[in-house]
Structure 1
Amino acid sequence: MMHQPIGTLPGVSQVALNVLSALLEARTGQQVAAYRSWRIDTALKPLLRERGFDTLDRLVTHLLEGHDTMIGDQIVDALVNQESSFFRDAPVFDMIVEAVEAAEAEGRRARIWCAGCSTGQEPLSLAMLFAERQAPSPEIVATDVSEAAIARARAGRYTQFEIQRGLPIRRMMRWFDAAGSDWVAKPELVKAVAFRRHNMVADRAPPGQFDVVLCRNVLLYLATPTKIEVFDRIATALRPGGMLVLGAGETVIGQTRLFEPSKLFRGFYELADAQRVRAAA
């Protein structure tokens, strides 16, 4: 994987920026655009304070010495974009329920994979929706490359700011308990989701096949060859007739022939007909 040098920051060497951005890309496939190099400095400031380093260059020197086996993971966890909120793009969740109900009409328990789930707001939103409809809930598997994010998701603990982003008061009171200034998801809600660490770029898809795969705002940060690999993995994880859900600014068009826009659910994608894929290859 070729890594391109990124723009410099005041007081930070080009070498340090290149090492940090290359580490992120090697571990996750995510790239830092040149005009967003400021994110590296901003995201790593808490780690610098925690570890007692006064500059990014000192942090990179420590990383390259190779004695600290945890520092690489900590850097990647800090740099990965973990932006998330409850019920983000609410109409999408309504369509996911429809897609799952269509799968359940075939007489089996549906399965959902939330890939790149960050700190868990997306899969927990789904778990609330399905628990409230008074019907058997689908199996929900939620994965993220960041061990720290998965740990937070399993704990189900959110700040007042996080809990207010997209979560109606009624659902907040139904599914969360106050814990000081934070809110903690009720155990039955967290247990409705299987949270696992998973690398979309390096790991195989979770076992079994899924009726819906959510991979929202993950591909935005990947180079085109890496996106193609991720689409391939997702394709193997979907049942025939299954749906792929991407972020509002993402598309399969021009990226892969394995998927095409869904005829039933606007903005969703389904596996393309295998014969047409072979003919276009």
Structure 2
Amino acid sequence: MLFKQWIYRAGFIFMLACGMLAFAIGPAGADDDLKNLDPQALVVAIDNNMWSTTKYVEGRLIVDNGRRERTLEMNTWMEGITKSFSHYKSPPRERGTKMLKIERKLWLYTPQTDRTILIAGHLLRQSMMGSDLSYEDMLEDEKLSEAYIPEIDKVEAFEGVTSLVLDLTAKDPAKTYQSRKVWTDPVRKIVLREQRFAKSGKLLKMIDFKDYRPIGDRLFPRRMVFRDMLKDGTKTTYMFDHIEFDVDIPPKYFSKRILKR
């Protein structure tokens, strides 16, 4: 009887050990599968979710400086990655402000001065409308698959999602953000978090992509939360209240004439 009990216990322990081993090997095998993915193909798929030939957005910038919040409402028209026009609707102080990007140039019109200025040089590094974004961020809003070389860093859990973390290295040595780290969901082909670094390796910006929703055949976030890591306790949330892809946009929206009253 004692011998039979010993055999039974030994068999149970062996089965338990096998189960634990299988549990341990399973996730590692899944990690290996993710690490074998083509990072360039993944970044291209992510870009296809975020970008289109043209795009129209009705949105809000919620700027939190750690003491108070203010909200800027604007409409934005975009053509590819090289052209965009934004018209600010509120608050009253910013109503009528317009911003135009064409290629690598950025113009700002303010109704208070009734002047249009070219944002260049050191002005590009300044805060855009008091937010955690700089004017330079507007110029470097582009497809990751075209501007960076991706490499797989690791697989890790991020807010309950098995995330494939990519390291991106800029192709152009003149770029503001010489490297980026992105936490991706390789199943849905989306970015969950992005960190942007200077050439020195210093972390400059962090962006969280939240509340993805289907729009046609793509997934797009309802909001993006920007943090300037050189500031304490600030954040700017970009809310996408309404968005349309591949819409007809008249050429006048990308002409300097639209900046005039």
**Is the helix fraction higher in 1 or 2?**
1
Bigger relative contact order (CA 8 A; separation at least 6):
2
Give yes or no for TM over 0.5.
no
TM-score range, shorter chain: under 0.3
Instruction: Indicate the structure (1 or 2) with the bigger Cα radius of gyration.
Output: 2
Question: Which has a greater percent of strand?
Answer: 2
TM-score when normalising by structure 1: 0.24
